[in-house]
Structure formats: C-alpha cells, structure tokens
Amino acid sequence: MHKMNNENQSIPEPIKGERGGKIWGAKNTPIDRENPNTLTPPDTDHGTLPNFKWPFALSHMRVEEGGWSRETTIRELPVSEKMAGVNMHLEPGGVRELHWHKEAEWSFVIKGSARLTAIDAQGREFVDDVSEGDLWYFPSGIPHSIQGLSEGVEFILVFDDGSFSENSTFSITDWFAHTPKDVLAANFGVSEEAFDNIPDHQVYMFETKVPGPILQEVPQNMNEAVEEPFTFRLTEQKPIETKGGKVWIADSTNFKASKTIAAALVEVEPGGIREMHWHNNTDEWQYYLEGEGRMTVFAAEGKARTFDYQAGDVGYVPFAMGHYIQNTGDKPLRFLEMFKSDKFSDVSLNQWMSQTPPELLKAHLHVDDQFIKHGLTNVKKPNVKY
C-alpha cells in the first residue's frame, strides 16, 4: 500500500503507484509511521474534514508533588465541542485536593487504585476504593477528592463540556487563600490564628501518607449513604461477546449516577472490526487504551477521512457521522467510547440492511443474491465482528 524509499525501507513516502513522490524537505518520520493513512490516504477518502485525532503525548504536562496531569480540550482538538478529557496519575498517597466542577466528571481507572471521597447536596457522604477497570461519576457541583493508594493510580477523566479545563476547577485551598481570615474565623467559629499556616495559593495536587484500610477511614458519624453510588465495577459486568471481540456498556440504566455520560469499553481482536455504524443521539469521544487501529469517518456530501490511532490517542466522531474502528495490529485493540448522554445508543449498518427488503437493497447497491445471503446477518447491537 505504501511505497518506501529505496535507500531506507523504513521511511514512508506519499507514493501510490505512479502517483505522488518523495518528500525532499523537512519531515517527521516517526509521525509519518504512526499515521500512514494521513500520509497516503485510501482512495475512498475525499473532501475536507477537520482533525479527529489528538495524542495525549502532545498535551501540556502539569507535573506536581504527588503526580501529574494533562488534558485534551477543545483547545487541542477543536472538533471536540461536547466533551473534554484529562489523563492523571497520582503517586502512592498523592492527592487531587478537595474540589468541585461546573461540569460532571466521569472516570475510568487505567491502572492502580485510589480512594474517593464525596458528599452530596443532602449531606450524604460517600467513600469508596476503586481499582483497574472501575468507573466513577461525580455530578456537576458535587465536591470530591481522589487519593492514590499503595501502588498509586492512573486514570482517564471525561467532562461533559469540550471547553472544560482541569486548571479552572473550584479548589478548597484556592478559596481559603482568597478569603479574608476574619471571614474564615467567623465562618468556622475559631480565632484568626487558626489559619496562619494555610496555603497562599491553590495546591491542586500534593503527596501525603497512604490512607489506611477503608473501614478505618470512613467517619464514625457518617450520615446515610448516597442513594446512587458514584462508583461502578465496569469490568465485573458480563460483556456482550461477538465473533471479533467484546464490549462492556455503562450508562444510566446500570450505572444510575451517570446521568450525562454514557460509555462503552470495546475490545477488538486482531483482524476484527467495530462494525460500520453511527450514533443517533450525540457525538462520540474516544480514548485508546491498548493496541493499534484505524477509523474512517463518513460525513456525507462525499466527504470521508481516515485516521490511525495508537494507545494514548483521543478520537472524535461528530453526531450521526458513519464510522468503523478496525484493529490494524497483532494484539487486541482496547478503547473507550464516551457520549454526552444518559443512554448508550448506536445504529448498525449491518442490522439496518439485514432488515431491509432484499430487492430494495439490490436496486440501491447492485449487489447479488450471494451478498444478500451471506453478507448480511442479524446482529445484536453494539457489534464487533470480522
């Protein structure tokens, strides 16, 4: 598919048969290797479409005592109007300080474990430990904290607004630093001297000792628990299994607290494909966890563009645009699909066609009876197949 420079077979060039030619000027060969379908697009690509890919590796890294964070917002990926993401790591004992957001926060634990604390508007407390494969969701305005346990933790956060920035959250240290001490004293009924050592700026993230077992940390006078827990054991659920992979779905039907973000964890085997489909309710924000894949987005008006994805990349598909995700590597491809919605919903091209009168399909596509008989089968949604 891609003709290489004869002098160095590892250097890709934009050459297709007799078309194209070598790049003589400056180029970034590692990026070209990771994006072969951008360097030499398939002939089915056509028209001008925005960028649907952003690697977290190019996001600014905020390095702090106790961990780090980096974000992908509409600033980095302009098409991402509905959702933004943050990749964060906390060392053992590392704390993302007590804070809250205007936006709802959804998270998937990539590795390690953490302790979460929160309180809802009715004063009901929540404390729980999460580990690899678990989710959490904090509605907008709900104050919470995150702390790494004995091995630390890394996670991906998704917010239901593309303009969100992790750097503009409401933090308890920031509020104290910008409140007169006499007001703090009056509010808490203590002397002003009690606040002599408070930080004079937002702390954001810091490191302290690893908390003890959760039963020792839960307040003895803890009020009634929240009605809808803020955590969910996604990978403990039974997945939908198909010929080429499996998928775990979490939305408000099984993760009751998650009112504004629905999600799916998808695993596609080598040679497999997340079938051609579209989402009939909202945009799709993707995060690639493992493996390599490619996606072509069909935008109508004769427009289509193909992208390659690796672990750590963000993908995006605007509302109703057709697409697929194909495993192009030799290991399983695992990625998250997130939606600003209370329900997961998609429309399968395979299923639609399989339930359309055959003669109507043949008149449209000029296919024969062999395709109708063997190419179309009724499938369960969402589908991953060879």
SS3 358: helix
Residue type, 18: E
- Please give the full DSSP string across 304-326, using - where no structure is assigned: EEEEEEETTEEEEE-TT-EEEEE
- Please give the full DSSP string across 364-377, using - where no structure is assigned: HH---HHIIIII--
Distances in whole angstroms, Cα of residue 219 to Cα of each of 127, 223, 358: 9, 9, 64
Catalytic position from the list 65, 301, 337, 359: 337
| Residue position matching structure tokens 């952003």 | 54
Does residue 261 contact residue 158 with C-beta atoms inside 8 Å? yes
Two tokens, residue 241: 């299994």
Nearest CA to 266 out of 292, 239, 285 is that of 239
> Active-site residue 64, yes or no?
no
Two tokens, residue 384: 């991953």
Write 102-105 long-range contacts (CB < 8 A, 24+).
Answer: 102/140, 102/141, 102/161, 103/140, 103/159, 103/160, 103/161, 103/164, 104/137, 104/138, 104/139, 104/140, 104/159, 104/160, 104/259, 104/260, 104/261, 105/136, 105/137, 105/138, 105/144, 105/157, 105/158, 105/159
H helical segments located in 35-86: 36-39
- Catalytic site residues? 337
